[in-house]
Amino acid sequence: MVPRIDGVALITSDAVALGLLAATLGFVFWGAARTHGIWKRVYTVVPAILPCYLLPAIYNSVGLIDGNASGLYPMARDYLLPAALVLFCVAMDVKSIARLGPKALIMFLTGTVGVMVGAPVAFGAMSVLYPDAVAGDTWRGMTTIAGSWIGGGANQAAMKEVYEVDSTLFGQFAAVDVLVANVWMAVLLFMASRAQAFDRWTGADTSAIDDLKRRIATYEAEHARVASTTDLMLIFAVGVGATGLSHFLAEPLVEWVRGLPAGWRLQDYSLDSRFFWIVVFATTIGVVLSFTPARRLEGAGASRVGTVMLYVLIAAIGMQMDLVELASRPELLLLGFIWIIVHAVLMLGMAKIIKAPLFFMAVGSQANIGGAASAPVVATAFHAALAPVGVLLAVLGYVLGTYGAYLTGQVLRVLAT
């Protein structure tokens, strides 16, 4: 372990710390892109997002950097997170999602409901099985998983701020999130290899899937392009410009809310949170822009730029974690598995009721639980041309993530009191 000198980290400059985080992210994704050798074997088991959290956490835990004293996280939270949300949402193709048919959307929304219902069910079950596990501010930490499992990392980080989740508690739930979500993805990939048996069980008609494969392949060929400097500047303008507008709109609204009579109790619902309104405005602006020509920026990589911003935020969050504390509450894993089981039961039940193909169930679930990073992986297990379906549904999850997780948090708040 690298000791701190008189309680001060070895690296105190944010510029140096940012360089370290950037080099770390580059190293992680370089390794994840290897097609053979030890890195291929490592990243077959370990999702890339985990070392993006874990390595900065190690730096903080051994005294190399001090995440709590750094200004990097507030910068990433206030500027990069809203911009990432805008760029994820502007990529949403409503028409393409609608063409997937009602069953795909029903399964996706069932997955969202499964996360929202699973949270209070898991909280209640742990209140009986292990009351200490859900004592105190545990419910706040659960809101970050709700944000992650309905939307993604950006929504997870948003809930951390909206519900004022302690960094150590956030780290504990981030570990639960990654472990439980990846166990569930492994289950879905296992089921994908047995899709025909599942579809016979549900009685699903899969003829539309073949047409969907052809349509997606054609769409991708027509819209993909190499990004020009103009494209990248427009992506930057949309993401950061909308972030500035969100800050501009949030300021007077928060002042107005805080000036309302105390009897309205709006602070109980975080409606006096400046960050909450910044996230809501950023998400809404992104959705509105998805109906305009701005959506064409996705062909040049708008969501990929958003992903870069998101991973800088993830690393900044990681540098605030204390790994010693992560091992202190193993009971949170049980809470996570109860939660995902509720989600799984609802998904399987709905697939049987509406006779949905396994493809719709698996991708609808992973678009919630795994987000844009892993939903395409599950979709590709059925056919390579179907990967964009996972992305489209995951982008819809980014839109719903903030709202769904916020409502889930309010239910958990009531249960905790």
Predicted confidence pLDDT, tens digits, the chain (417 residues)? 445 555 678 888 999 999 999 999 999 999 988 888 888 888 877 777 778 888 998 898 888 998 878 899 889 888 998 898 888 888 776 666 666 678 888 999 999 999 999 999 999 999 999 998 888 889 999 999 999 899 877 688 788 888 888 887 887 888 788 778 878 887 887 888 788 899 999 998 877 677 766 766 675 577 778 889 999 999 999 999 999 999 999 999 988 888 888 777 666 556 777 887 888 888 889 888 988 999 888 888 888 898 888 889 888 888 877 666 656 678 888 999 999 999 999 999 999 999 999 999 998 998 888 776 567 667 777 765 566 677 667 777 777 888 899 999 999 999 988
Q: What is the pLDDT of residue 144?
A: 92
Dmax (CA) of the chain: 68
> CA–CA separation, 176 vs 172, rounded Å?
6
CB 96 within 8 A of CB 217: no
Token look-up 């690393």 returns 315
CB 400 within 8 A of CB 371: no
Q: Which residues contact 364 (CB under 8 A, 6 or more apart)?
A: 104, 107, 108, 109, 110, 111, 347, 393
Alpha-carbon 14 to chain mean position: 26
CB 211 within 8 A of CB 104: no
> CA–CA separation, 11 vs 19, rounded Å?
11
For residue 213, with 0-12 CB atoms within 10 Å meaning exposed, 13-18 middle and 19 or more buried, which class applies? middle
Q: What are the structure tokens assigned to 59, written together?
A: 């730096």
